[in-house]
Chain A
Amino acid sequence: MALLERARRGARWLLATRRRLFCGLALAGLAIALGGFLFAWTGAYNIAASRGHFAAVEHVLRFAMMQSVRARAPKEPVPDLADLSLVSLGAAHFEAGCAFCHGSPGRPISAAVRGMLPTPPDLSDLEGKWSDGELFWIVKHGIKYTGMPGWPELERDDEIWAVIAFLRRLPALDRAGYERLARGEVELAPGSGAEIAEGEAPADAAYACARCHGSGKPPRSELVPRLHGQPAAMLETALRGYASGERQSGIMQFAANGLSQDEIKRLAGYYAKLPPLPAPPIAADADAIARGGKLAREGDAERGIPACLSCHSGAALPNYPRLAGQPARYLAGQLRLWQRGLNQRSATGAIMAPVARRLSEADIAAVSAYFADIPPRQEAGR
């Protein structure tokens, strides 16, 4: 009773004047800060990932994370996530960039990853947990304190949507279906015991270019360029641009910045010697193709648009790409990137950017259809 009485008297004394109250609060704040510092300084807090959080802390952290994502996720309409070009591009990037931590069908996460706190979630049962926009926000920005990184190139929403399209497809995939989608023609033949022991088995084809760009076969996604038969100098320039971050693509920067100069040279030389592939047939009308052809051959001097073919044909410099036989969707996508102010820091991007900005949306559709429609020519050896 005496204790209660003493507390009551103390409180009355503290509340008697405003000044006493402020001083009391300041002292309490100071004590809390000092206590916190002592807690950290003495090493009393156990930072071990192996130990996990208290259940209550875990709940609070999860609640705060979910509320934060929900508050920030975009509400705009999403692109068509059933689009196979989007899904297969997303799958191939998932294999290289995400599967190591999140696992993939038939391949559980490694023991090392299992020791992360929080353990990266299995993404095959996302149904109903997050909206498309929320998933997009998480993939784009990553999540603090969890090991989930943000997208390397924050301006490339189009690439992030490819990953979301794949994540929506993921629950329905078994191991074989996943591998077909994510690895394309890249087959992992089981190595012999000796090959596995000596590291000669193709244990990891996660970074293989052919998963997206094809090698013996054409690429499956219409959103990626066909590298077959492109001039080696152009391919080298592009890979160096991605590796240095001069060209903006989260997927290609991730793929290119581990390559050495020598690897870049050999890789470019390999694709340059492959026979060029025609683009998949498109549903463009003959009118658009004819308009695109006129623009490609003659340009439009009135609007300051030079003829595309003066730089993008066989006789041009080897550090310019040849566009014949490239998928229309890829070409249009690249032109729109320049219109949005991306890809203009590289030497060749700086030349193309002002030209692309003078094109209308109808021009883009027309020239893309035209180039997709003409058969490519062999440029190997340049």
Chain B
Amino acid sequence: MRRFPLLLLALPIAACEGSQSALSPHGDEASRVALLSWILFAGAAAIFALVAGALLLAWRGPERARAALAQESTIRLGGLAFPIVTLTLLLGYGVWLMRGAGAGEQQPELRIDLIGEQWWWRVAYHGPDGRTVADANQIRIPVGREVEIQLSSADVIHSFWVPSLGGKTDMIPGRTNRQRLRAERPGIYGGQCAEYCGGPHALMSFEVIAMPPADFDAWLAGRAKPREAPATEERRRGQEVFMAAGCGSCHAIDGTAATGTIGPDLSRFGERRLLAAGALRNGSAEVARFIADTQGAKPGNLMPSFRNLDEAERTAIGVYLTGLK
């Protein structure tokens, strides 16, 4: 039992492993944030040890040490001069280290618009031909290129944070904030809304997929191709139900009659690993489950449940949507 508090202390550190952690940086800014954090942790530990030592001496130490500690010069030096110098140095270093964060002077190589909505992420890429490519809850970036995410909000304050790639930037209604990211290597990095934004705030996450630049360019160019009709009978049936149930009045699938912009764009739904901004893993069965009971899967979210569809219809929609690339 005595070891239990120690185990508790270890828990948050264990949770920081993986793709969504400020302690395992995979990007420029995240590395600097991590370096600064470690300097802070180490410095704070050293100062804590120093203070604890002084306290011990003052309490149980030899007479000479106690007399030295009680001198006014010790207080002036250790209590005033030391913190002023240390904190000033630290502030200066921090400002210098983080100087590149946010909007830089140079033009970024790529701009991506990200709008926070209750409770999902609206993504817009600007394709090479000037076309806007809409997506949601997933951001693709090319490795090694500097990407500027233009952050705004449609309703309340949200906050954009991909701990492994960079710092946290608020998304404020009526204002555009900028956050630059540069991923060092390919991978999938988790991101999270980091400012309480109402009910399902905890289920408002997204993924950043860092891909080799050539793959990214090919992916973005591929979005301009006209959409092919659903290949299988079940997908075709799914599309039919999707349209007839009115889903297209809130969700868009490019190349079809579905042009709604109220909810997330589903044109590339099959490419996402997560569903409902991270509430569920993506898959046709999960889609069917989510449609039937949206509030059970993500309490408070704005999509109504479609209990009027039968199991086969919901599954057909799931198969259709997960086939969209």
Q: Which residues in A have some Cβ–Cβ distance to B below 8 Å?
A: 237, 299, 301, 304-307, 310-311, 315-317, 319-320, 347-348, 350-351, 353-354
- Contact code string B52-87 (vs A, CB < 8 Å = 1, else 0): 000000000000000000000000000000000000
Contacts of B244 in A (CB 8 A): 315-317
B245 at the binding interface (Cβ < 8 Å): yes
From B260, B306, B308, B309, A306 is in contact (CB under 8 Å) with B260
Docked pose: A299 CA to B258 CA in angstroms: 13
B302 lies within 8 A of chain A by Cβ: yes
The contact sample of 17 A-B pairs, CB cut-off 8 A, is A301-B262, A304-B302, A305-B262, A306-B246, A306-B250, A306-B262, A307-B249, A307-B260, A311-B246, A316-B245, A316-B246, A317-B308, A320-B246, A347-B308, A351-B246, A351-B305, A354-B304
Please state if B306 and A315 are interface contacts (CB–CB under 8 Å).
Answer: no
List A contacts of B304 (CB < 8 A): 350-351, 353-354
| B248 touches A (CB below 8 Å) | yes
Complex interface residues of chain B between 288 and 312 (CB less than 8 A to chain A): 302, 304-309
Does the CB pair A348–B308 fall under 8 Å? yes
- Neighbouring A residues of B246 by C-beta, 8 Å: 306, 310-311, 316-317, 320, 351
Query: In whole Å, how far is B103's beta carbon from the nearest beta carbon of chain A?
Result: 28
Question: In the complex where A301-B261, A315-B244 touch, is A310 in contact with B308 (Cβ < 8 A)?
Answer: no
CB distance from B304 to the nearest CB of A (A): 4
Give the Cβ gap from B302 to chain A, nearest Cβ, in Å.
7
Other than A311-B249, A351-B308, A353-B304, give 16 A-B pairs with Cβ distance below 8 A: A299-B260, A301-B260, A301-B261, A301-B262, A307-B260, A310-B260, A311-B245, A311-B246, A317-B241, A317-B244, A317-B309, A347-B305, A350-B305, A351-B246, A351-B306, A354-B302
Contacts of A237 in B (CB 8 A): 308
- Find out whether the CB atom of B308 lies under 8 angstroms from the CB atom of A315: no
Q: Which residues of A contact B243 (CB under 8 A)?
A: 315
Inter-chain residue pair count (beta carbon < 8 A): 53
Cβ distance A363 to chain B, nearest Cβ, rounded Å: 15
* B243, B246, B250: residue with the most chain A Cβ atoms closer than 10 Å: B246
Q: Which residue of B lies closest to A309 (CB)?
A: B249
Query: How near does chain B come to A314, taking the closest CB pair, in angstroms?
Result: 10
Q: How many of chain B's residues touch chain A, expressed as a range?
A: 10 to 19
9 smallest CB-CB distances across A and B, nearest first, come from: A306-B249, A310-B249, A311-B246, A347-B307, A347-B308, A310-B246, A351-B304, A301-B261, A317-B244
Contacts of B309 in A (CB 8 A): 317
Highest count of chain A CB atoms <10 Å: which of B244, B250, B308: B308
Bound CA–CA A351/B294 (angstroms): 11
Bound Cα distance A351, B306 (Å): 7
Q: Which of A299, A305, A351, A353 has the most CB of B within 10 A?
A: A351
Question: Measured between alpha carbons, how far is A350 from B293 in the docked complex, in Å?
Answer: 11
> Chain B's nearest CB lies how many Å from the CB of A144?
39
Rounded to whole angstroms, the CA-CA distance of A316 and B304 in the bound complex is 17
- Taken together as a complex, chains A and B put the C-alpha atoms of A306 and B261 apart, in Å, by 9
Question: Is there contact, CB below 8 Å, between A304 and B262?
Answer: yes
Q: Which residues of A contact B261 (CB under 8 A)?
A: 301
- Residues on the B chain within 8 Å of A310, using CB: 246, 248-249, 260
Residues from 261 to 316 in B contacting A, C-beta threshold 8 Å = 261-262, 302, 304-309
Q: A307's closest neighbor in chain B, by CB?
A: B249
Complex-state Cα separation, A348 to B262, whole angstroms = 19
Nearest CB to that of B248 among chain A residues?
Answer: A310
Do B308 and A299 have beta carbons less than 8 Å apart?
no
- Among B248, B250, B309, chain A packs the most CB atoms within 10 A around the CB of B250
Min CB–CB distance A319 → chain B (angstroms): 5
Separation of A113 and B304 alpha carbons in the complex (Å)? 48
The smallest beta-carbon distance between B116 and chain A, in angstroms, is 15
| B307 partner residues in chain A, CB cutoff 8 A | 347, 350
A221 to B34, CA, bound (A): 72
Alpha-carbon separation in the docked complex, A351 to B248 (Å) = 14
Contacts of A347 in B (CB 8 A): 305-308
CA of A237 to CA of B249, assembled, Å: 23
**A341 vs chain B, min Cβ distance (A):** 14
Question: Smallest Cβ distance from A223 to chain B, in angstroms?
Answer: 25
Bound-state Cα–Cα, A310 to B247, Å: 8
